[in-house]
Chains A and B, each alone.
Chain A
Amino acid sequence: MKGLLKFITCGSVDDGKSTLIGHMLYDAKLIFTDQEKALELDSRIGRRGGKVDYSLLLDGLLDEREQGITIDVAYRYFTTEKRSFIVADTPGHEEYTRNMAVGASFSDAAVILIDASQGMRIQTRRHIRICSLMGIKHFIFAVNKMDLVHYDKGIYDRIAREVKKFISEFETDSMRMIPVSATEGDNITSYSMEMPWYQGETLLERLENIELVRSSVQEEFVMAVQRVSRPNYDFRGFQGQISMGEVSIGDEITVLPSGEQAKVAGIYIADKKTDTAQVGQAVTLQIDREIDISRGCVISKDIELKAADMFTVELLWMDDEILIPNRNYWIKLGTKTLSASVINIKYKIDVNSGEHLPAEKIFKNELGVCDIVLSEKCVVDTFERNKDLGSFIFINRITNMTSACGVVMHTLRRSHNLVWQESDITREIRSKQKNQQPRTIWFTGLSGSGKSALANALEKRLVAMGKHTMILDGDNIRMGLNRNLGFTEEDRVENVRRIAEVSKLMNDAGLIVMTAFISPYKKDRESAREIIGQEFFEIYVSTPLAECERRDVKGLYRKAREGELPNFTGISSPYEAPEHPDMTINTEKLSVEEAVDLIIEKLSAK
């Protein structure tokens, strides 16, 4: 008996994915009688007018049954005499591409359905690309609905040529074409009487016969540490699942990123003490000396692995919010979670033609190749060599949604050659010399809310107190450092990034910095906080819109109301108020001097 095969069924909407799997299970007597009965009952009210609607076996959500579509991936488990299987049946709609990708990341093989009367469609091509991106190397193309084209060999041959041409772009271990009818059952589990011209395997036979190439003997060993177990002073173990090779007691191992070495002193596979463990097993390792190892470190042997903070990736964007360079996300890679951003979109991939298109942003369900940078170095490998250390997800820092998934193509040399230069004089020494605590006081609020007036008054007071300060004003910066930036979303993100980096440099110099920018978006202020660190002090100037508009110091509200200024914050573009600012100041209720008193009080208390 062969090992487990995990496979996915995908393809465009209505190409018959759920029906195909439903029919296969039904034919092979792999469903229970109560489910069969429920299926036959459900079919009476289903879409096939009383005939068995096999898709109802898989479309388990109420919305799916009502709308007659697949929304999310369903998993089914079955065993034949030759093999056990897990099948991930995935949605065809473009809207639910992310759910299809979930199934693909789980699978070793893909069954791609193509409607014989339609041929390859854009979703078919998108799915093939995503399967390949997620690491699938075995493909079966089931040309479905052959009954609707009178089992015509000519039509099948034409589609076969089209598929072969398309798939030649990808690296595959095996590829087969099978003409089928999912509703009628042709070439699913038994040969079709209607297509004597097809002599190959049936779909089920093909699935039973796929040979997964298992990695043979490997010298190298790699395990990312999930957790350190320290139940008492006598025991310290490092827990994880081995992702490459094997390890034995006495082996000399290297811990990354530190590069420190030690010998393996004890191995547990789950709770069993052993001498050796191998790829796939969940283990606890003990070593012979005290070195610093925590979650996210990698224990390795006989393999060249590097820690990098900059690399090139291919990713699938899955969030409604578009990908914009320089915005901050959480990245989860291996067992490490860090802050990361895309610094450069190299190109998008046209899902149809494979063409590389220049791009400034990436939209939902698009594929792209980008350079990303991490907040600190992390052990990575290429996806090709090590799936566990070469795959990642991006998590939106505000919504916590999983925004993207991707694979590491290669690390960038720069990250090895660029070394942060420490100087002998530190920020602490510089600020001590000035006898002050550096800060970046970030004023945010509507235009005309009083940010600049407050910053000015505060600076005067601080200088009078003998402090060393600097003001960064929105308009002034745009006339100099940021004069090449406009007001598109990407430019706005870059604008904030530069201001935050400059503020940080000034904090390093020991200065107290005040910034006065509208900075209307929560995530941009979050990015600034991320760059600046604990010196960041957010003051929300909460003067209401009506009052700002009444003041209209620069005459901008009038212009915006007359439609002369598109994307004007508060009028035609939103302002997202901070939820937990360090302080809130409403200039309707406080005079400037009263406000400054409060700020000074709060700053010295902190």
Chain B
Amino acid sequence: MRELTHLEQLEAEAIYIMREVAAECEKPVMLYSIGKDSSVMLHLALKAFYPEKPPFPFLHIDTTWKFKEMIEFRDRITEKLGIEMLVYTNEDGIKEGINPFDHGSAYTDIMKTQALRQALDKYGFTAAFGGGRRDEEKSRAKERIFSFRNAQHTWDPKNQRPEMWKLYNTKIHKGESIRIFPLSNWTEKDIWQYIRQENIEIVPLYYAMERPVVYRDGNIIMVDDTRMHLEPGEQVEWKKVRFRTLGCYPLTGGIESEADTLDAIIEETLQAVTSERTSRVIDHEEAGSMERRKKEGYF
């Protein structure tokens, strides 16, 4: 017998977690955000239950501000794999014209956090997988793999259930739910190496390409459609850029890069001197903003 590789250990742990949820939780769903972590999580779910299809649906919270390429990718993958993909948008937010340019943090709250809570309530899901990793952010580093939420979807970081060995407590009362993070122990580097090892398809935005962008407050923002407001003096330029994380295009900063292959991306990730969250415009608020959002029900 041999020692399993680091990636084999992480894969086995994630599969064990998914099977526990499928066996013990009443109505699970897997959040799908179209990004690389979601792609890895989806890939693991297909492996965990093979030859069976994953015994739960997938859910995408669509803010209507995602990159066009993301939505195309989502629809193509859903079709190709034959999985059940639920798409939910907060229609009240749309009616009120909530957008990332004018509404700042209210936008994230209404179109992401509120939308997620509405969707979970609508379908009555009791357990939801998310692709969060502990190396992303300090409050995530503190969160359990099975993270309990009360009936208001609130996370109470001061009173988390102890989580020992592989013994996950999935008991809940009516209305309560559990968020499950099977990629908790993966790092950004692990994700990329696994994508290469398993040949997982990802949205092309991760690869460097000439794209129309503007420079704004130290971020490189892609002009993905005509809804993008240009500030006085801003010029659309064509630059070779790629994205380390993907979200709503006006809130996602790209990086100038030549990395147009997986190997080049991994090389660049290993050399990186900043964390990937720097490209998320919404995380740049004061210390603890992620924790506050999580307490309100954000993933």
**Distance, CA A337 to CA B25, complexed state (A):** 13
Determine if A35 and B275 form an interchain contact, defined as CB atoms under 8 angstroms apart.
Answer: yes
Determine if B46 and A271 form an interchain contact, defined as CB atoms under 8 angstroms apart.
Answer: yes
Determine if A270 and B273 form an interchain contact, defined as CB atoms under 8 angstroms apart.
Answer: no
**Distance, CA A84 to CA B135, complexed state (A):** 14
Q: How would residues 43 to 54 of chain B score, 1 for a CB under 8 Å from any chain A CB and 0 otherwise? A: 000111111110
A41 to chain B, nearest CB (A): 9
**Distance, CA A61 to CA B140, complexed state (A):** 9
Does B229 count as interface, using CB distance less than 8 angstroms? Answer: no
Q: How would residues 1 to 32 of chain A score, 1 for a CB under 8 Å from any chain B CB and 0 otherwise? A: 00110000000000000000000000000001
Residues of B2-33 contacting chain A, CB below 8 A: 2-4, 6, 8-9, 11-12, 15-16, 19-20, 22-24
Interface of B is mostly: loop
Instruction: Across the interface, name the chain A residue whose C-beta is closest to B166.
Output: A388
Q: How would residues 136 to 165 of chain B score, 1 for a CB under 8 Å from any chain A CB and 0 otherwise? A: 011111101000000000000110111111
Chain A residues with Cβ under 8 A from B157's Cβ? 61, 63, 71-72
**Distance, CA A489 to CA B231, complexed state (A):** 71
B188 to chain A, nearest CB (A): 9
CB within 8 Å for A61 and B291 given contacts A74-B141, A74-B142, A226-B23: yes
**Distance, CA A460 to CA B196, complexed state (A):** 78
CB within 8 Å for A217 and B1 given contacts A61-B139, A72-B157, A392-B167: yes
Determine if B19 and A239 form an interchain contact, defined as CB atoms under 8 angstroms apart.
Answer: yes
Does B219 count as interface, using CB distance less than 8 angstroms? Answer: no
CB within 8 Å for A65 and B141 given contacts A33-B274, A271-B47: no
Chain B residues with Cβ under 8 A from A493's Cβ? none
**Distance, CA A84 to CA B52, complexed state (A):** 34
Q: How would residues 32 to 61 of chain A score, 1 for a CB under 8 Å from any chain B CB and 0 otherwise? A: 111100100010000000000000001111
B18 to chain A, nearest CB (A): 9
A336 to chain B, nearest CB (A): 11
Does A214 count as interface, using CB distance less than 8 angstroms? Answer: yes
Instruction: Across the interface, name the chain A residue whose C-beta is closest to B139.
Output: A60
Does B278 count as interface, using CB distance less than 8 angstroms? Answer: yes
**Distance, CA A216 to CA B3, complexed state (A):** 10
Does A140 count as interface, using CB distance less than 8 angstroms? Answer: no
**Distance, CA A448 to CA B288, complexed state (A):** 55
Query: Which of A98-106, A299-307, A566-574 is near enough to bind chain B?
Result: A98-106
Determine if A281 and B12 form an interchain contact, defined as CB atoms under 8 angstroms apart.
Answer: yes
Determine if A75 and B134 form an interchain contact, defined as CB atoms under 8 angstroms apart.
Answer: yes
Instruction: Across the interface, name the chain A residue whose C-beta is closest to B5.
Output: A3
Q: How would residues 76 to 101 of chain B score, 1 for a CB under 8 Å from any chain A CB and 0 otherwise? A: 00000000000000000000000000
Does A332 count as interface, using CB distance less than 8 angstroms? Answer: yes
Determine if B12 and A63 form an interchain contact, defined as CB atoms under 8 angstroms apart.
Answer: no
Residues of A100-142 contacting chain B, CB below 8 A: 101-102, 105-106, 134
**Distance, CA A32 to CA B137, complexed state (A):** 12
B176 to chain A, nearest CB (A): 8
Chain B residues with Cβ under 8 A from A318's Cβ? 162
Determine if A74 and B138 form an interchain contact, defined as CB atoms under 8 angstroms apart.
Answer: yes
Residues of A385-417 contacting chain B, CB below 8 A: 387-388, 391-393, 395, 400-402, 405
A496 to chain B, nearest CB (A): 23
Chain B residues with Cβ under 8 A from A35's Cβ? 275
B118 to chain A, nearest CB (A): 25
Determine if A105 and B11 form an interchain contact, defined as CB atoms under 8 angstroms apart.
Answer: no
Give which listed residue, B8, B19, B171, contacts A330 with CB less than 8 A.
Answer: B171
Chain A residues with Cβ under 8 A from B46's Cβ? 271
Determine if B171 and A400 form an interchain contact, defined as CB atoms under 8 angstroms apart.
Answer: yes
Q: How would residues 242 to 286 of chain A score, 1 for a CB under 8 Å from any chain B CB and 0 otherwise? A: 000110000000000000000000001011000000111110100
Chain B residues with Cβ under 8 A from A357's Cβ? none
A371 to chain B, nearest CB (A): 20
Chain A residues with Cβ under 8 A from B274's Cβ? 32-34
**Distance, CA A229 to CA B50, complexed state (A):** 9
Determine if A229 and B52 form an interchain contact, defined as CB atoms under 8 angstroms apart.
Answer: yes
**Distance, CA A218 to CA B4, complexed state (A):** 16
Give which listed residue, A84, A98, A268, contacts B162 with CB less than 8 A.
Answer: A98
A261 to chain B, nearest CB (A): 24
A530 to chain B, nearest CB (A): 15
Determine if B173 and A400 form an interchain contact, defined as CB atoms under 8 angstroms apart.
Answer: yes
Does B257 count as interface, using CB distance less than 8 angstroms? Answer: no
Determine if B142 and A72 form an interchain contact, defined as CB atoms under 8 angstroms apart.
Answer: yes
Does A241 count as interface, using CB distance less than 8 angstroms? Answer: yes
**Distance, CA A524 to CA B184, complexed state (A):** 38
Determine if B9 and A4 form an interchain contact, defined as CB atoms under 8 angstroms apart.
Answer: yes
A92 to chain B, nearest CB (A): 16
Instruction: Across the interface, name the chain A residue whose C-beta is closest to B278.
Output: A34
Determine if A279 and B1 form an interchain contact, defined as CB atoms under 8 angstroms apart.
Answer: yes
Chain B residues with Cβ under 8 A from A59's Cβ? 138
- Chain A CB count within 10 A is highest, among B141, B158, B173, for B141
Does A523 count as interface, using CB distance less than 8 angstroms? Answer: no
**Distance, CA A334 to CA B138, complexed state (A):** 31
Determine if B291 and A231 form an interchain contact, defined as CB atoms under 8 angstroms apart.
Answer: no
Does A153 count as interface, using CB distance less than 8 angstroms? Answer: no
Determine if A77 and B8 form an interchain contact, defined as CB atoms under 8 angstroms apart.
Answer: no
**Distance, CA A227 to CA B56, complexed state (A):** 15
Chain B residues with Cβ under 8 A from A42's Cβ? 287
Does B169 count as interface, using CB distance less than 8 angstroms? Answer: yes
Q: List 25 A-B contacts (CB under 8 A).
A: A4-B6, A32-B275, A42-B287, A61-B138, A61-B142, A61-B158, A73-B142, A74-B141, A74-B142, A79-B189, A102-B163, A214-B3, A215-B1, A226-B23, A229-B51, A229-B52, A231-B51, A239-B49, A268-B50, A270-B50, A282-B15, A333-B167, A391-B167, A395-B169, A400-B169
For the complex of A and B, 10 pairs with smallest distance between CB atoms: A60-B138, A271-B50, A270-B47, A231-B52, A282-B15, A400-B171, A32-B275, A105-B164, A405-B164, A227-B23
Q: Which residue numbers of A lie inside 8 Å of B, CB to CB?
A: 3-4, 32-35, 38, 42, 58-63, 65, 71-77, 79, 84, 86, 98-99, 101-102, 105-106, 134, 214-218, 226-227, 229-231, 235, 237, 239-241, 245-246, 268, 270-271, 278-282, 284, 295, 318, 330, 332-333, 335, 337, 387-388, 391-393, 395, 400-402, 405
In the complex, besides A33-B274, A268-B50, 12 extra interface pairs with C-beta distance below 8 angstroms are: A60-B291, A71-B158, A72-B157, A76-B135, A77-B185, A99-B160, A235-B52, A284-B50, A388-B165, A395-B171, A400-B172, A401-B161
